[in-house]
Amino acid sequence: MNRHRTSMVMLVAVLGFQFMVQAGERVTPLTASPSTLAVERHHYSVSARVRPLLLFWIRCNDVGDAVVTKRRGADQSGYTLLIGSDPERAPRRINRWGYIDEEIRGDQVRVIGLMTEADEQSVEEAEARLRQPSHGDRTYQVMQATIHGDQARSVVTPIDVPKAYSFRELRTVLDLARQESSQATARDVRIPQGTRPGFLYALADLVHQHVKTVHGPGGIRRGPVVTYVYHGRLYQLRATRAEMMSTLQVGASTYRQIIAAEFEIKNTYTGELTRFSMTYGTDGPLAEVPLTASYQPRWWMQVDLALDDTKNGPQLADGVRP
């Protein structure tokens, strides 16, 4: 995967992590059976800013959705994020989206992620591509990974999908992704002791430490560097800044005692750095839950997410998470 695709997959993961909350917090069981998974679901609105010709930013609000869920049972847990623009609301019917699902059973981890390709270098190039005829297919990159003990294996497969498919066709795209392909490429890596099994766990560890230390003596600490594995490569995650905010206004909601943090991911194989920022609560039902997230994958584009549980977001077909 090239630099941009790797970074965009990180964005897909950014919001998924924090729904690994402590047992018993805000989890609604689906049934009374102890073997049934408990599921928590949150919706985020997606906005974007673009900057033509290095002059000024133009903001587009509510152009898409993100839906995050957490699943927990007696012997397993899982986390999903579906995020993307909605062609029915986005300017020029922009249709870009991605999905990640992590499932953990004992010491084994299974991950599947997919996203649309996006290689434009400028606003002008993006607009030119949007003006092209909409017939034909679009290439998606699908990553499927497993971790058993200290061994991680990742397989990436390109698949062609009709351009008209949006995040509402997730189930159909996932069915295509499960088919065998001669274009699949695999990576295997041995995981050093102490390595987290994925991005979601690494980020959850750091945020949990921030919230824990803010209530302890000495105040908030940025935390250590956390190593995790992703697509056959080792990454290092660290917080470059973490500080308290007394209040945060998000839409019509006001949150108090918030942590604002900036993070940096280092690819230990290439040295590439990826940066993003987040805010999250410190007390009550929203402790450790993301309230906002911001990521700038290109110099001319920034993507912002904001918690908005007044909306449900995209509803998916039966059998598909979230």
pLDDT of residue 239: 97
Q: What is the pLDDT of residue 270?
A: 93
Mean pLDDT score, 73-95:
83
pLDDT of residue 131: 47
Q: Is residue 136 scored above 70 in pLDDT?
A: no
Please report, for residues 7, 99, 249, 282, the alpha-carbon distance to residue 59 in angstroms, rounded to integers and kept in the order given: 22, 24, 18, 29
Q: Tell me how far apart the alpha carbons of residues 264 and 196 are, in angstroms, rounded to a whole number.
A: 16
What does the DSSP 8-state code read for residue 16?
T
State the DSSP H helix or E strand holding residue 82, giving kind and residue range, or none if neither: strand 76-85
For the residues 82-91, what does the mean pLDDT come to? Answer: 86
pLDDT in tens, 22-31: 222 333 333 3
Residue among 250, 247, 245, 248 at smallest CA distance from 310: 250
pLDDT digits (tens, 9 = 90+) for 215-258: 888 889 899 999 998 888 999 999 999 999 999 999 899 999 99
Spatial distance between the Cα atoms of 27 and 33, rounded to a whole number of angstroms: 14
Average pLDDT of the chain is 78
Report the C-alpha dihedral over residues 4, 5, 6, 12, rounded to 10 degrees: 110
Query: How many residues would you count in the chain?
Result: 322
pLDDT of residue 35: 52
**Residue range 106-117: mean pLDDT, rounded:** 79
Instruction: Give the per-residue pLDDT at 247.
Output: 96
Tokens 């690494």, located at residue:
202
Indicate the pTM of the whole model: 0.80
Rounded Cα–Cα distance for residues 211 and 176 (Å): 41
Distance CA 98, CA 266 (A): 22
Rounded distance between C-alpha atoms, residue 26 and residue 172, angstroms: 31
Break the chain into its structural domains and give their ranges. 3-307
Helices 199-214, 3-14: inter-axial angle, 10-degree rounding: 50
Report yes or no: 230 and 153 within 8 Å, Cβ to Cβ: no
pLDDT of residue 141: 84
**pLDDT value, residue 117:** 59
Q: Report the share of the chain in percent with pLDDT over 70.
A: 78
Cα dihedral value 11, 17, 18, 21, nearest 10: 170
**Average pLDDT over every residue of 37-50:** 86
Question: At 53, is the pLDDT very low, low, confident or very high (cuts 50, 70, 90)?
Answer: low
Write out pLDDT tens, residues 250-288: 989 999 999 999 999 999 999 999 999 999 999 998 888
- How far apart are alpha carbons 91 and 85 in whole angstroms? 10
CA dist 67 → 97, 178, 232 (Å): 12, 22, 27
Mean pLDDT along residues 30-44: 66
Is it the case that residue 308 has pLDDT exceeding 60?
yes
* pLDDT at residue 59 tops 60: yes
pLDDT-derived band at 133, boundaries 50, 70, 90: low
- Residue predicted with more confidence, 79 or 11: 79
Exposure string of 230-253, with b = 16+ CB inside 10 Å and e = fewer, is bbbbbbebbbeebeeeeebeeeee
Mean local confidence (pLDDT), 156-167: 86
Kindly state the tokens that stand for 249.
Answer: 């206004």
DSSP H or E stretch at residue 208? helix 199-214
Joined together, the tokens standing for residue 126 give 């993006």
Query: What is the band of 38 on the pLDDT scale with cuts at 50, 70, 90?
Result: confident
